[in-house]
Amino acid sequence: MIFISALALGACARTPHQPAEVRAPVARSTEPPAKHPPVVVALVVDQLPMWMAVERWKTLPATGGFRKLLVEANAIAELHHGHAFNATAPGHAALFTGGPAHTSGVTANGKLDARGTYESFLADPTAHIVNATGASDRTSSSIASLKAATIADSLKHARPGATVISLSMKDRGAIFGGGRTSDATLWFDSTSDAFVTSTAFAASVPAWAAPIATPGAAAKYRTEAWVPLDPKWLAANTDLPAPDLGQGDFHGLGKKFPHDIAKAAKPAKAFVATPFADKMLLDAAILAVDHVAKQSEPALIAVSLSSTDYVGHMFGPDAPEAWDQMLRLDAELARFFAHLDEKLGKDGYSVVLSADHGVPSTPEVMNQGFCGRPDADKYERRCEHAVRMRGSELAKVAEDAVDRAVGSGEWVLGYVEPFVVFRPATRALPKDKLDAAVAAVAQSIGALPTVARAVDVRANPATCPPAKDESLDALVCRSIHGGTGGDVFVVPKPGCFVDAEYVEGDGVNHGTPYLFDRAVPIIVRAPVDASVQLQETMPSLEDRAIVDQRAYAATIAALFGIEPPEAAIGGADLSKR
């Protein structure tokens, strides 16, 4: 197990703001591996906070995937994301480029169209959905919003023959891992009930992916109800039957076990909030491994596991469903790692695992267990009073504030995390009136008991503090990229969040600057050969060295023997045993 010195970490200075033009990284000359071309599996567990890994992984069985990964790991650390709005798109962009939103340009999960309707941040009207039957007329997503180079881009530049495959249940979970010229970037589409890509990446899905890209392919994963995998283990760790923890009923799945997906109002949509979606995703990853095993070039397989996030959003991280999801993911990872061992050999691949963001407990749990506690919590799980906020209510507060400042009108387009978004006519106001409008919104929203700060996006510095600065000012600075996203950036107080509205009034959301949302594990397992002395017991995750988000891409680059993307330069290299 390597030791990362505090001195070495402190020496890693943050790269300045990434220019709009993405510069290709310079390849580093290295000798090719003698036995195998390097294969790196880059795993992201969506919504995996460090606090959860520390508290729960030690309860998992000895046969599980997390234990195997930890025992075979050469590095275990705590990764702190360097931005204030911690969510899937900014988090994945940060991991795969090394840069926070200020650098990547990816400031949110979504955006508002001209009518104020929510759409994916990556939505591109020129791109169209592609499944195994070909392209459709439905619009899709692209990587055009990203302003920084990814580790996949670096690999393709340094090793043009390398294979890059990226998979997720979400477009925003797959796109950044694949970069701009991937061999396959695939995600789940509930309308197709199968994995798809976009014409922005390919005109067709690859032949090896046909089993999971044929319309209706997911139906076979919904033939059984979701019940506890190990009732005794679950009963030992949670309350059964579960009390009211803020669980939501997503498309008719129900709030408590059992969950019969076939009886859901929209089975293909409800599917993603079950462990069976991870099973399908890892089946797709196994197909990718089998494809790569036949190649003679380096390969990057990026897999973003989304079910933990969806289950957390719907039921909350303390519900029995969240515990069972972790147990089932552990078993699925064990199956996946066994396949890697079989196909590539233990010395034929590396794994880098981390997360895009964390999560707090639901307000029901926070108010009972964390609010008002005098003692400090390492992951900042403390609060005055935990509350679910409504984005529409924040937009109304903003509208009323502008009315008072400049006169009655229609000034606010809406709220999309983490921004209040003005209408174009509001932005076109004379400077004195626009200043008054912004100041009124920042003051009114900032005065809410659930809000810690409301920030004028225009006032954000062009250059942000270095990564080692984890103050709120620095985190907010690194969350804003010009005027991308909106006009007033809103920071909730600890324990408060804007309702994700998967199930309005229930469940949980993330998106804050506190350590429960931005501290996540990073585990690196370099190739294991006969000379490697493995630990006999699962190592603890407690009190690990802290690295910033650059470490993920920097470590992957080191495993390939190439230069990292520009935004990851200076990140901790965790690749050595």
Same domain? 127 vs 73: yes
Q: Is residue 1 part of a domain?
A: no
Q: Is residue 508 part of a domain?
A: no
Same domain? 181 vs 36: yes
- pLDDT at position 536 is 79
Q: Residue 570: which region, alpha, beta or left (left: phi > 0; alpha: psi -120 to 50)?
A: left
Whether residue 1 has pLDDT greater than 60: no
Same domain? 344 vs 488: no
Same domain? 416 vs 474: yes
Least confident of 255-269, 370-384, 559-573: 370-384
User: What's the domain count of the chain?
Assistant: 2
Following DSSP, what letter does each residue of 463-525 receive, concatenated?
SPPPTT--SHHHHHHTT--TTSS-SEEEEEPTT-EE---SSTTSS-----SSHHHHEEEEEEE
Same domain? 119 vs 195: yes
CB 210 within 8 A of CB 132: yes
Confidence label for 373 from pLDDT (cuts 50, 70 and 90): confident
Whether residue 5 has pLDDT greater than 70: no
Please confirm whether the linkage preceding 465 is cis (ω < 30° from 0).
no
Q: Is residue 378 part of a domain?
A: no
Confidence label for 35 from pLDDT (cuts 50, 70 and 90): low
Q: Is residue 375 part of a domain?
A: no
Same domain? 129 vs 222: yes
Tokens 């981390």 correspond to: 354
CB 15 within 8 A of CB 549: no
- Interhelix angle 88-97/151-158, rounded to 10 degrees, is 30
Q: Which tokens go with 565? A: 């993307």
Predicted TM-score (pTM) of this structure: 0.93
Q: What mean pLDDT comes out for the span 177-199?
A: 98
For the sheet with 519-525, list strands across it: 134-141, 123-131, 194-198, 184-189, 163-168, 299-305, 39-45, 350-354, 519-525, 75-80, 546-548
Which range marks the domain in which residue 418 is found? 388-449+451-492
CB 257 within 8 A of CB 320: yes
Same domain? 26 vs 130: yes
List phi, psi (to 5°) of 110. Answer: -140, 175
Q: Is residue 507 part of a domain?
A: no
Whether residue 212 has pLDDT greater than 70: yes
Same domain? 178 vs 287: yes
Whether residue 9 has pLDDT greater than 50: no
Same domain? 342 vs 404: no
Q: Is residue 81 part of a domain?
A: yes
Q: What mean pLDDT comes out for the span 430-453?
A: 98
Please confirm whether the linkage preceding 320 is cis (ω < 30° from 0).
no
Same domain? 276 vs 223: yes
Q: Is residue 118 part of a domain?
A: yes
Q: Whole-angstrom Cα distance, residue 51 to residue 382?
A: 13
Same domain? 410 vs 540: no
| Rg (the chain; Cα; Å) | 23
Q: Say which CATH number the domain at 465 has.
A: 3.30.1360.150
Q: What angle do CA 224, 245, 271 make, to 5 degrees?
A: 25
Q: Is residue 576 part of a domain?
A: no
Q: Say which CATH number the domain at 92 has.
A: 3.40.720.10
Same domain? 394 vs 319: no
Q: How many other C-beta atoms lie within 10 A of the C-beta of residue 91?
A: 34
